């Protein structure tokens, strides 16, 4: 039986050429797998036919937009996932979604190898290959660009020589990856980190310098998931799409960052994630109202580790699954409404309400009706500061106190 290789297929030049390139280099039959995670562009049936016209023996096509939004973006929202406190894991979240379908297609068509179009210096090669082998340890992985020397120039020449039904051009200043959670742009003149991004870099957001009239939205959450906008019920996918539209019109969610890649290099990236950033801001504020203090403090540590794992391609790892359980438990009472104003590149929370709120007006107020017994504060402070007080007394005893400038006095032997 002829060996079969499943290829992650985007419908673009590189992966279209990769179908024939892989077949010639390995002698295997190629099955193209295209997964829609909300990246827009061409119809799935057009992509299917192009894959077949380029030499694929089969084409597996999946509309995974609802799956991506519900099973990947919503856990990231509940985790307030921001790599380096800024990047909402736009590309990193889509990879395990695609991986799951690649493995499913490999099983369906009895393939022994899964191929992807990543280079040897990016994060995605790790995300694909670790994800694939985590779900199916028996499968082999192949990267035509990295392993079979498929360069851009070679791809153009191959497509022209074989009259492949795909547009070829050498001029493409940016590398772009996008889905419903956001859009990532890199390379070209952006690789000089002193260069400011130009207007043509952006697509999901309008210029926040000249915003339209401010837009007020009420986002309703149930256990950390948005379920309604302005009282109208929405699915996770609809919530992201509508917030992309409304926050994007106000220029919310533009991110320009030099980030630490997993492979050890720093990379300058431009991201647009209007819906993601607005929803995360709203979710964080609702957690401020509903999470108990110590739980909230510890969750921030878990959030950072969860985000790093997903960024590093460890979506299917045991630690990630364990952290999922903790995060899901914290969302038990994260239900209620957040009112937010979108304007001039900012998503600003202006109101919060929840039946599960831990905010007690009678305890918080300084006016009539104050239920907080301030007389208990003195004893609380004495006990709370007791260990520091005892340590300070010991320092003074041995001549190691702190002077009035805050500097430690020289230590005695």
Does 366 carry a binding-site annotation? no
Does 91 carry a binding-site annotation? no
3-state SS, residue 39: coil
Structure tokens at 402: 């702190």
Does 339 carry a binding-site annotation? no
Does 405 carry a binding-site annotation? no
Does 400 carry a binding-site annotation? no
User: Are the beta carbons of 37 and 237 closer than 8 angstroms?
Assistant: no
Does 224 carry a binding-site annotation? no
User: Are the beta carbons of 55 and 30 closer than 8 angstroms?
Assistant: yes
- How many helices (H) and strands (E) the chain has is answered by 15, 14
Does 158 carry a binding-site annotation? no
Residues 6 or more apart whose Cβ sits within 8 Å of residue 386:
none
Does 188 carry a binding-site annotation? no
H or E stretch at 380: helix 377-384
- CB count, 10 Å around CB of 389? 11
Catalytic (active-site) positions: 14, 95, 124, 175
For helices 44-53 and 13-26, the axis angle rounded to 10 degrees is: 30
358: left (phi over 0), alpha (psi -120 to 50) or beta: alpha
Does 271 carry a binding-site annotation? yes
Does 124 carry a binding-site annotation? yes
Does 9 carry a binding-site annotation? yes
Structure tokens at 56: 């694929």
Does 87 carry a binding-site annotation? yes
> Which amino acids are annotated as binding site, given as ranges?
8-16, 87, 117, 119, 123-124, 127, 175, 259, 271
> Which amino acids are annotated as binding site for L-aspartate, given as ranges?
119, 123-124
> Which amino acids are annotated as binding site for L-citrulline, given as ranges?
87, 123, 127, 175, 259, 271
> Which amino acids are annotated as binding site for ATP, given as ranges?
8-16, 117
């Amino acid at each position: 039986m002829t060996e079969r290789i499943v290829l992650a297929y985007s419908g673009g030049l590189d992966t279209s050429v990769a179908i024939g390139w892989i077949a010639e280099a390995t002698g295997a039959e190629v099955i193209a797998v295209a997964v829609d995670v909300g990246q827009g562009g061409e119809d799935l049936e057009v992509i299917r036919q192009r894959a077949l016209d380029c030499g694929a023996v089969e084409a597996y096509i999946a509309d995974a937009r609802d799956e991506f939004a519900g099973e990947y973006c919503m856990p990231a929202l509940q985790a307030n996932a921001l790599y380096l406190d800024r990047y909402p894991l736009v590309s990193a979240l889509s990879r395990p979604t695609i991986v799951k379908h690649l493995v499913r297609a490999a099983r369906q068509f009895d393939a022994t190898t899964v191929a992807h179009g990543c280079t040897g210096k990016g994060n995605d090669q790790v995300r694909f290959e670790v994800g694939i082998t985590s779900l199916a340890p028996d499968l082999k992985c192949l990267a035509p660009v990295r392993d079979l020397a498929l360069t851009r120039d070679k791809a153009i020449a191959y497509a022209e020589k074989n009259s492949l039904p795909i547009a070829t051009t050498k001029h493409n200043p940016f590398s772009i990856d996008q889905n419903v959670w956001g859009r990532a742009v890199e390379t070209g003149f952006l690789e000089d980190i002193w260069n400011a991004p130009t207007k043509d870099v952006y697509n999901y957001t309008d210029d926040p310098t000249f915003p339209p009239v401010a837009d007020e939205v009420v986002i309703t959450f149930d256990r950390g998931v948005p379920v309604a906008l302005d009282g109208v019920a929405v699915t996770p996918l609809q919530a992201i799409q509508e917030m992309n539209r409304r926050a994007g019109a106000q220029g919310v969610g533009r991110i320009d960052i030099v980030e630490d890649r997993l492979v050890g290099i720093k990379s300058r990236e431009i991201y647009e994630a209007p819906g993601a950033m607005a929803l995360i801001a709203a979710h964080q504020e609702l957690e401020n109202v509903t999470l108990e203090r110590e739980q909230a403090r510890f969750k921030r540590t878990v959030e950072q580790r969860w985000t790093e794992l997903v960024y590093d391609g460890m979506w299917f790892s045991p630690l990630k699954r364990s952290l999922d359980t903790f995060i899901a438990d914290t969302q038990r009472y994260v239900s209620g409404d957040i009112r937010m104003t979108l304007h001039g590149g900012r998503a600003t929370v202006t109101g919060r309400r929840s039946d599960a709120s831990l905010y007690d007006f009678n305890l918080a107020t300084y006016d009539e009706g104050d239920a907080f017994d301030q007389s208990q504060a003195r004893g609380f402070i004495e006990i709370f500061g007791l260990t520091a007080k005892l340590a300070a007394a010991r320092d003074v005893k041995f001549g190691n106190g702190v002077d009035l400038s805050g500097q430690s006095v020289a230590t005695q032997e």
